[in-house]
Structure 1
């Protein structure tokens, strides 16, 4: 049996299951199954996962396994099952896709990258030029943070924060959420060298968190390599052992996008199962053993499409040189932005909008109303109409937007695009991330309110002090007048002081006596608690209103309720396995003053659900005035089950 090819860092891929049928599939390529293709199209259209470019042998094997697990006979039946059970999508994707990742996975190529490739990349950049890296298929983030550590070691932390942006993308939202949190357990960081672990991670109990100051340079977002546009102008692109699971046609399309994404001197780092021997026109090896390739520059005809067919915009024609510059400026803009034509068609989407809102260049040409962003998190269509009618910029105000585990505050601005004849061409919709500014503004407003309150309080205190000063002046005169009276009464006060001292001694004696009695009471309570705990019977003490005052440990063992769940509650409302309605008359008789204990045998169900017989002994509790002060119930499991317990029925 052939070994499973090693899956490299940061790849979410369709898993191949080796077996005897693998060799057969390699020789006999089956005809496409229309029902299977329909299922793939449904997954793409309904959930955005495009598996149509994956090799069919692997997909069929994995999906057939899931069909067997849920008991579906064919793909059409499974498609109906998906429609009825929405949670099944997650189980299916987990069957098809697999996260295989780790820090410094396959260390030798990473060492080559650190020693040979990255120093040359940094040497070819200016001192203030930004460095852009794309980790495609980042899974739960270990590959992206590995790149961050290598670059920070070569550049220094300050220079890294100032110049480096690492864009880490994947199709798995759950993996991206974990990656954004940057928290890993002991097993996951085992491959990180001890020096790097100490420098770049903060230990919190049994977990390690990547440094927050460097974490800000790593940007995570969803991107499907099969159908989404690439991130452009990157100096290093890492995508390991993903291409081998795709068809040759899909591989060619993705490699063309990778070629477009890289700068002229950009490097591509692949997994050891990927060779690119048939794509020498796009990439040439830097080191074939470690699967590091250099981009081969190629001329691009003016106006020719690079990634896909051009979108026809109002006015017709393909963009010229200036249009290309304007398009690139829009794509590289720091604010998430969409362009919508006057008839409601999406004309442009920039990179920030892709990362923030989940839209992509494949949405160009689609009606804006069909996109989720048109109505979530904010209904934008009425604001767009208002901007077009009033010919002015409209602000939609702050909107709360949830991305993964983060909550962002967005300020949406709609600006009309008007030609020279005042005709409306469309609108631009810009999403400004104002989360940090709003947080600072709220803190500033709160501080301002606190300062105002403190100022008002100081003003009030100042007025009180002025009034008090006047009163003190008057009091000084009165004190001088009464000074002689105070001196004459001094002897009386001394006499009273002696009396007070005597009284104080008496109070101290009383206090000592009370402390002694309190200690005796504490000992009595502890003694009573020990008695109740030591009894083999459940003891319950009820007040005259049948509320529970005492509930010992054996009662807990019988019925499963702890004392804190019963104390103060009405006894007859407790949900226990004892027929309380049959016990109520005996309790009422005891509360009515009927002397002597009363005994009752009852069938019951204990906390473990077993049928038992219980003897209940009820005794009235008499107060100091000989009036009923409650009832004491003792409940003990009968060793000889009553016929009513049902033991004989079995």
Structure 2
């Protein structure tokens, strides 16, 4: 038996209590479906009266969560309505990207995102279109909902295999990582999806959105609330931004602010201008009162001249007709410039080439806007302008001239740059915070595991400590042995030094010149006798090639004998050569060339040249 309907006042009291106690405003929802869902929850807890249910809510705080879950009914899935998503992928996304520069950011809003499947579906579509790297650099997806529990689930980005039924196997492999029985969305792409709470009826909308997806959410609101939400969507969308609705949402009564792109699939594009339609009313009122005001010509002249915005007016023949005071100050114009062709003035070329825009406005009979024009008047002093070029058309559609208005937007540009910089910092900080939160959860699990490992390691360290004590004793013994070896090495080194000193004494004491070369004829030994003969110091001759020496000895004549000595261990030859000693006097030198034996006495490692004067040659 159906329970009797409670008075509307009692049901409205439930909605008022929810708004005042928990901040959830359901007064804009359709009453029929809303009351049906509340009654469903009441029947589950055995309450038949709205007043009694308010009493239950006051004493049982957990009942709020169950009620909100029943009211909100978060029904969603990946790529829900496959045909619609295919059209988004093939037509809408390429158009959005083509209308923006290759480095321009793309901002997406998934309103009423529930547990996140729609937001991650949008991420996959745009990642397919841009590639993962460009997606991370350009795309930001803002996913919002009023259900905190659903948002928490969305932030984890973990779904069961059944929840991925709509996705192909290659999509699952490309965008998800399996952890146990859950599939987690890729972390590098997950950072571009930002979740947050937003009540479409009460909270401010996110701005400058290129694609706004709000599917099967508006149908729960009444007509008045729908109009309010759609007005906020119109404000949120960037020029030519796209609105993506669900199948159950027709958007028939709001066609004046949105044009259909594909009505069947529920894609709409934002229309320019004021959605309220007040512009025509103001124009009509102005026309009605126009005839009641006198002295308009003089008033217009003074208003034009003292306008705080720089303005120049040219005739249809491109002759400067009017220049106001602000234009004279900013661009250095004067009354003498009136009557001159525009092309003869510097303003025609700086801060921007104006003539082409003036000609376009004249031919097309439409207003043009030139944005973000920078003018560097002095080094380090830049001004930014937004220039409006408007054709002046008479009542019979004849061209009277063209008005050029220079709006100085330097302050706004600076504020916009600062705002964008701040927004980037905030987005970066939010992403880092979100990433840090996820990393902390992972770190907590790792710490639990680390504690167990540390306990095991502590036992191993105790055992290792005992081994180290034993090793320390062995090292001490080894250290003593090394000390003995070092003492022996020092003794051997001293002996070697004595031998070297002895050999050096022998070579110094020999009165003949002695040169020792290796197999490559590089000089290894050059004694004192050689220095006295040829005036070349040992450090100058050492490591030099014998045949490259520039001394009084004809070294070229020694080449054959030295080569023979290197190849024959028993070779020995005496040569008598004409030479010039270090004093520049000609002399004869007896040179004995013999082999330098190796340690075994059989091999040769070079040659030995012994030289002594044999008397003056002149």
TM-score bucket (shorter structure)? 0.3 to 0.5
- Report the TM-score when normalising by structure 1: 0.45
Question: TM-score if structure 2 supplies the norm length?
Answer: 0.47
Over alpha carbons, which structure has the higher Rg?
2
- Higher relative contact order, chain-length normalized (CA < 8 Å, sep 6+): 1
